[in-house]
């Protein structure tokens, strides 16, 4: 509805959120020992899921254009990416990199999981078309959910799958939980058909844009001595990278802030390797605009105390 995804009704499988979608795809595609490539830093629940199914999970670095395709392991059966708003750095994968990734998958007989979780909340330029719309050989499995746009407690998501994968996904769904909640799914379908979801997104997009701008200004004002906010034109969080030459005990600062009621995550928590960027991920989805400045003042005090 909001993205240029090419699909018909038979291409869509409704799931209990994105995490179940990842589980079904992995069950249908990989076997124990199969190589799965994930962004690094990246979304830890997806990485842990693939590991739990016996995959050999290989972290791949991310640069300003997205996942570094040249660093993908040649034997990867599955590549997991967040191209619209890379988690947690906020990078938007460039068109050049998207085409490069699809071409790589064609050469290496691999599939891509396109996790498009933040595409609805884009504040700046028109979003690039999803990987799925660029795919002509059935290499991209598109995953979306209503956890961010509506509420995570709904546990409602979907997969847009290539034809060759549909039977495998349906079989995996059958052996896990048979089906979802038909009453909830019908209610959501009606909500969408009446245009209520579109109206809801227009309202929340404006609200989140204001919070985003307020948070970026507060980071520059209260944390700018130590951190540089990374550009992000979408989503419900920003990343703040530690400036070169600055040494802080970030885990200690995050724990101290949590004790004072300010929750932040370090980028190291989302990295599978020790070579990832140092910094913080700062969410604003549940924080009022009025509380952002005070939260950043508390965080700045904790950061200052953690200086090495």
Same domain membership, residue 187 and residue 113: yes
Same domain membership, residue 223 and residue 187: no
The CATH number of whichever domain residue 92 belongs to comes to: 3.40.640.10
Query: Are the CB atoms for 88 and 47 separated by under 8 Å?
Result: no
Same domain membership, residue 168 and residue 152: yes
Same domain membership, residue 160 and residue 81: yes
Q: What is the pLDDT of residues 258-295, one digit of tens each?
A: 999 999 999 999 998 877 789 999 999 889 888 999 99
Domain encompassing residue 107: 9-193
The count of domains in the chain is 2
CA distance 264 to 278: 13
pLDDT of residue 1: 46
| Alpha-carbon distances, residue 70 vs 62, 63, 92, 101 (angstroms) | 11, 11, 18, 9
Same domain membership, residue 183 and residue 63: yes
Same domain membership, residue 290 and residue 245: yes
Q: What is the mean pLDDT of the chain?
A: 91
pLDDT of residue 180: 86
Structure tokens at 200: 């809801």
pLDDT of residue 3: 64
Of 137, 161, 193, which closes a domain? 193
The CATH number of whichever domain residue 259 belongs to comes to: 3.90.1150.10
| Alpha-carbon distances, residue 200 vs 191, 196, 203, 249 (angstroms) | 10, 6, 5, 40
Same domain membership, residue 75 and residue 220: no
Ramachandran quadrant class, 305 (left: phi over 0; alpha: psi -120 to 50; beta: rest): alpha
pLDDT of residue 42: 95
Same domain membership, residue 165 and residue 117: yes
Residue ranges of the chain whose pLDDT lies below 70: 1-3, 124-127, 308
pTM: 0.92
3 part of a folded domain: no
């Amino acid at each position: 509805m909001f993205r240029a995804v090419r699909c018909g009704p038979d291409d869509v499988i409704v799931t209990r959120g994105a995490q179940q979608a990842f589980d079904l795809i992995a069950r249908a595609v990989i076997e124990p020992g199969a190589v799965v490539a994930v962004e690094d830093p990246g979304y830890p629940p997806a990485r842990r899921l693939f590991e739990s199914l016996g995959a050999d999970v290989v972290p791949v670095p991310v640069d300003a254009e997205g996942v570094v395709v040249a660093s993908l392991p040649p034997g990867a059966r599955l590549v997991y990416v967040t191209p619209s708003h890379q988690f947690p750095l906020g990078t938007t994968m460039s068109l050049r990199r998207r085409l490069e990734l699809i071409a790589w998958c064609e050469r290496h007989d691999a599939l891509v999981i396109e996790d498009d979780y933040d595409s609805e909340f884009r504040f700046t330029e028109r979003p690039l078309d999803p990987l799925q719309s660029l795919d002509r050989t059935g290499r991209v499995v598109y995953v979306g959910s209503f956890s961010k746009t509506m509420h995570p407690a709904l546990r409602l998501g979907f997969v847009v799958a290539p034809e060759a994968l549909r039977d495998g996904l349906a079989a995996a769904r059958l052996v896990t939980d048979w089906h979802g909640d038909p009453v909830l799914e019908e209610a959501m379908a009606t909500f969408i058909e009446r245009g209520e979801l579109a109206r809801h997104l227009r309202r929340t997009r404006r609200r989140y844009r204001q919070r985003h701008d307020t948070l970026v200004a507060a980071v520059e004002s209260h944390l700018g001595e130590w951190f540089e906010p990374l550009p992000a034109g979408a989503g419900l969080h920003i990343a703040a990278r530690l400036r070169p030459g600055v040494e802080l005990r970030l885990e200690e600062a995050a724990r101290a802030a949590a004790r004072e009621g300010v929750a932040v995550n370090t980028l190291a928590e989302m990295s599978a390797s020790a070579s990832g960027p140092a910094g913080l991920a700062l969410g604003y989805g549940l924080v009022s605009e009025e509380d952002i400045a005070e939260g950043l003042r508390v965080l700045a005090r904790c950061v200052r105390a953690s200086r090495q």
